Chain A
């Protein structure tokens, strides 16, 4: 790494972090939440703001900024005000370990995967804070549901990643990408070894658990509007509501980044030497394309399936996904030792 002054490096990292968190969120919301969802329901979606409604998000942000920042009378003001920031911080912490190229990373942690899995549960604290501090029974129930759900699905998420870690032999995200780039499938190295092929079960479990972690339908019990108004965000308005909204979709983008690093080869595409300097420029674009692919699946499931019941949700996590992911670890371990 070139020696830069600490403050320059920090500025670059902050700017890069902001870009990595916020830039994918906008296209994701417009492309999938606005347009694809509309087409799947045989309607057009936003059409007025900008060509084909492409400026709709700016209009929405402008609307939210104008709204009053309301606090419920009995709310715990400090905790209530801080909660959306805690949720947003977890998405910023998550992006820290994601590599975008051979040298384009924020922090190259040896325990990157461990860090990502640990930090992704920070948002639970923010959601519980929001639910508790709102002094509303709907928010409270929503917060508790979110906590129960996120903790339950953290396990299959971590266990599904274990398979990848065993196969790659490292917790470092960068090395996981390289392991996929340099890997071979039965001696054929033409497309490397993206772990989606060898760890397909792990990928499926990861996608389901990710859907639940993001509280996207069909796992949106914490904000189930027919039961809980909007759960833990019931009492929020204006800017703070917007922060929750951004947090939700920014985290969707970042989880998709992690999924593409773990299962789809991250910034690497077949045919180019992974050590090539080209990837420092091409890498982010490749990542973005893969993120679009993964989030397409997330939003497709979101649009198609109706909401689970709370007990069905917990059953799916504890009785199906966790045993399956344990099985996946056992099989991966045996094959790893055998070959």
Chain B
């Protein structure tokens, strides 16, 4: 294709897009660009994110052993963990009391977080999960530091893992509730 026909074709592409946006119902119907546009007018209408979208990180506090793997793998160092050891009652009567790591502080600074998901990947105890919720902006940047109670609240919004295709031998992970 020569230069000039190519340029005319380009003009055609933009004109066609404008036409499709203006008149999605066809040439004789009234123009309704809000229907023809591929974009969504965000605060007025919202798209539901896909179930496995990376919106915010949720914490299942009971599963966390304060092993610090997530904090150490975090590229931004935006996870702050503090814990102490506690004696827990023995499993069987007459046994030795067990030692347990008790979580004092688990904060994720979402002002620093880059949503890479390495912490979720690396957690061996099923304590961190992705939630598709994305509307947690704050007027003050300090409020983006979510403490463990706030992170635990996100657990409710974590969707169940989808089942694999039929015939798969792998067991579907379960979200602890």
Contact A42 B15 (CB under 8 A): no
Interface segment out of the listed B36-44, B91-99, B139-147? B36-44
CA distance A40 to B21 in the complex (A): 8
Inside 8 A of A300's CB, which chain B residues have their CB? 11, 14-15
Restricting to A31-50, which residues have a CB under 8 Å from any CB of B? 36, 38-44, 47
* Residue of chain A at shortest CB distance from B43: A48
Tell me the smallest distance from the CB of A20 to a CB of chain B, in Å.
29
Asked if A304 is at the interface of the complex by the 8 Å CB criterion, the answer is: yes
CA distance A36 to B18 in the complex (A): 7
Asked if A305 is at the interface of the complex by the 8 Å CB criterion, the answer is: yes
Restricting to B7-21, which residues have a CB under 8 Å from any CB of A? 7, 10-11, 13-15, 17-18, 20-21
Contact A39 B41 (CB under 8 A): no
Contact B10 A305 (CB under 8 A): yes
User: With A42-B38, A43-B39, A44-B33 as given contacts, are A304 and B17 in contact (CB-CB < 8 Å)?
Assistant: no
Inside 8 A of A303's CB, which chain B residues have their CB? 14
Inside 8 A of B37's CB, which chain A residues have their CB? 38-39, 42-44
Query: Interface majority SS on B: helix, strand, loop or mixed?
Result: helix
Inside 8 A of B18's CB, which chain A residues have their CB? 36, 39-40
* Residue of chain B at shortest CB distance from A303: B14
Contact with A along B134-171 (1 / 0, CB 8 A): 00000000000000000000000000000000000000
User: With A39-B18, A39-B21, A39-B22 as given contacts, are A44 and B34 in contact (CB-CB < 8 Å)?
Assistant: yes
Contact A39 B33 (CB under 8 A): yes
Contact B39 A42 (CB under 8 A): yes
Tell me the smallest distance from the CB of A41 to a CB of chain B, in Å.
7
CA distance A39 to B33 in the complex (A): 8
CA distance A11 to B14 in the complex (A): 44
Contact B10 A41 (CB under 8 A): no
Inside 8 A of A304's CB, which chain B residues have their CB? 10-11, 13-14
* Residue of chain A at shortest CB distance from B34: A44
Contact A42 B17 (CB under 8 A): yes
Inside 8 A of A42's CB, which chain B residues have their CB? 17, 20-21, 36-39
Inside 8 A of B15's CB, which chain A residues have their CB? 40, 300
* Residue of chain B at shortest CB distance from A297: B11
Tell me the smallest distance from the CB of B140 to a CB of chain A, in Å.
23
Contact with B along A207-236 (1 / 0, CB 8 A): 000000000000000000000000000000
Contact A305 B38 (CB under 8 A): no
* Residue of chain B at shortest CB distance from A218: B7
CA distance A304 to B18 in the complex (A): 11
- Which of A38, A40, A41, A47 neighbours the largest number of chain B CB atoms within 10 Å of its CB? A40
Inside 8 A of B10's CB, which chain A residues have their CB? 304-305
CA distance A36 to B33 in the complex (A): 11
Tell me the smallest distance from the CB of A332 to a CB of chain B, in Å.
22
Tell me the smallest distance from the CB of B6 to a CB of chain A, in Å.
11
Q: Which B residues have a C-beta under 8 Å from some C-beta of A?
A: 7, 10-11, 13-15, 17-18, 20-22, 33-34, 36-39, 41
Q: A39-B18, A39-B33, A41-B17 are in contact. List 8 more A-B contacts (CB 8 A).
A: A39-B36, A40-B14, A40-B21, A42-B17, A42-B20, A42-B38, A43-B21, A301-B11
Q: Which A residues have a C-beta under 8 Å from some C-beta of B?
A: 36, 38-44, 47, 300-301, 303-305
